[in-house]
């Protein structure tokens, strides 16, 4: 998955490359697939997420890794509504401290606003925002995709999972009778509609301008049964500390990605990167481990991003692409693309062009 160019970020790096997302969705996806007799662990291993790594509380995954696993899971299960089922299978305990903070919050609306504020700690793969409607005081929760041009099947999965999890968690934390006023999805109407009505218990619209959920003011103002101002305040202090640490980690990843991207086809050695950061190799390696990644994995992500960008340029031969992405020859490029996508560069190029047409 490649994000559209962002003027705030230099070319060659994007949010999809950095490992910054808690893998709550993937962990739940594995559980749901297991119940259907489908083992996703070999697939996770292919993208660098073996079983030991997946059990690590410090694990972070990238949008690319997450999207690749979701796309393949949809193919294996042949379940177009897999996102609804994964969202409905979640629990606040998977969110750790943030889940505890939400349960200790004052009202449902404020709990959702707290979740939006700290969404980078929740494992969210959509971009959340929330506001109260000026027209009728309904509380509106919106879920935007990180990349509007992403695979439509993955986009539908993420949108469904997002709202299904909000409804499920609200019923667990507030009242089993909770139901939104309406849910709107930007994707076209699916063939099967029964699951939507059964889960959301409200009108569900498709082909809308944005993905959003409308919650009546009465539900939004409902007090949280476990509200505790002292526990809430102390938990927020810890969440703020985690957010500050996350920003430092993200800054490090982005600086390294930019450095690699700007140096291609040459690749700066790890020792050179340590010198640029005025630190020791041991310290830099530890900081990357705290981010849940390695320098080798980061370089791999940037090169993969570059190859995908270059494949969209029809005037470039595979030899040209191999050279510009820092591969020794065309054979090395073919091996890398096969490892990343399970197909050849020629087939991937055709597929990418078809997807964009």
pLDDT above 70 (res 58):
no
pLDDT above 50 (res 13):
no
Residue whose token pair is 């935007």: 144
Residues 46 and 35 sit within 8 Å (Cβ to Cβ): no
Q: pTM of the entire structure?
A: 0.71
| pLDDT tens track for 186-215 | 999 988 888 999 999 999 999 999 999 999
pLDDT above 50 (res 12):
no
What is the structure's pLDDT at 230? 97
Q: How far apart are CA 18 and CA 352, in angstroms?
A: 22
Handedness of CA 31, 80, 186, 197 (dihedral sign): negative
Least confident of 33-37, 40-44, 268-272: 40-44
Q: How far apart are CA 219 and CA 176, in angstroms?
A: 12
Higher confidence at residue 49 or residue 42? 42
Q: How far apart are CA 112 and CA 166, in angstroms?
A: 9
What is the structure's pLDDT at 159? 95
**What are the backbone dihedrals phi and psi of residue 316, each rounded to the nearest 5 degrees, phi first?**
-95, 135
Residue whose token pair is 């490359």: 17
- Structure tokens, 289: 């481990």
pLDDT above 90 (res 289):
no
What is the structure's pLDDT at 309? 84
Confidence of residue 312 (pLDDT cuts 50, 70, 90): confident
Which H or E run includes 78? none
What is the structure's pLDDT at 355? 64
pLDDT over 90, % of the chain: 54
Q: What is the mean pLDDT of the chain?
A: 86
**What are the backbone dihedrals phi and psi of residue 140, each rounded to the nearest 5 degrees, phi first?**
-110, 125
Q: Is 166 exposed, middle or buried (0-12, 13-18, 19+ CB in 10 A)?
A: buried
Q: Is 108 exposed, middle or buried (0-12, 13-18, 19+ CB in 10 A)?
A: buried
What is the structure's pLDDT at 18? 56
């Amino acid at each position: 998955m490649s994000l559209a160019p962002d003027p705030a970020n230099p070319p060659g790096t994007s949010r999809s490359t950095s490992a910054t997302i808690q893998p709550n969705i993937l962990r739940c996806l594995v559980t749901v697939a297991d119940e259907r007799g489908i083992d996703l662990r070999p697939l996770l291993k292919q993208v660098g997420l073996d079983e030991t790594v997946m059990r690590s509380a410090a694990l972070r995954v990238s949008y690319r890794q997450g999207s690749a696993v979701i796309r393949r899971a949809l193919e294996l299960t042949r379940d177009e509504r897999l996102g609804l089922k994964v969202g409905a299978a979640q629990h606040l305990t998977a969110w750790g401290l943030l889940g505890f903070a939400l349960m200790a919050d004052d009202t449902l609306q404020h709990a959702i606003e707290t979740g939006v504020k700290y969404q980078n700690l929740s494992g969210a793969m959509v971009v959340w925002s929330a506001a109260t409607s000026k027209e009728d005081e309904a509380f509106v929760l919106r879920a935007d995709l990180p990349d509007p041009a992403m695979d439509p099947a993955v986009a539908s999965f993420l949108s469904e999972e997002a709202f299904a999890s909000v409804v499920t968690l609200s019923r667990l934390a507030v009242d089993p009778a909770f139901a939104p006023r309406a849910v709107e999805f930007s994707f076209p109407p699916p063939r099967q509609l029964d699951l939507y009505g059964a889960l959301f218990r409200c009108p569900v619209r498709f082909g809308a301008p944005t993905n959003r959920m409308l919650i009546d003011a009465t539900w939004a103002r409902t007090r949280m049964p476990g509200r505790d101002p002292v526990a809430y305040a102390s938990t927020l202090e810890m969440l703020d500390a985690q957010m500050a640490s996350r920003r430092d980690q993200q800054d490090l990843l982005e600086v390294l990605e930019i450095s690699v991207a700007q140096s291609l086809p040459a690749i700066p050695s790890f020792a050179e990167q340590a010198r640029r950061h005025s630190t020791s190799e041991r310290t830099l390696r530890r900081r990357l481990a705290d981010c849940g990644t390695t320098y080798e994995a980061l370089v791999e992500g940037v090169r993969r991003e570059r190859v995908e960008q270059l494949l969209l340029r029809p005037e470039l031969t595979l030899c040209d692409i191999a050279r510009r992405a820092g591969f020794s020859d065309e054979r090395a490029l073919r091996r890398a693309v096969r490892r990343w996508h399970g197909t050849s560069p020629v087939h991937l190029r055709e597929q990418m062009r078809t997807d964009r047409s």
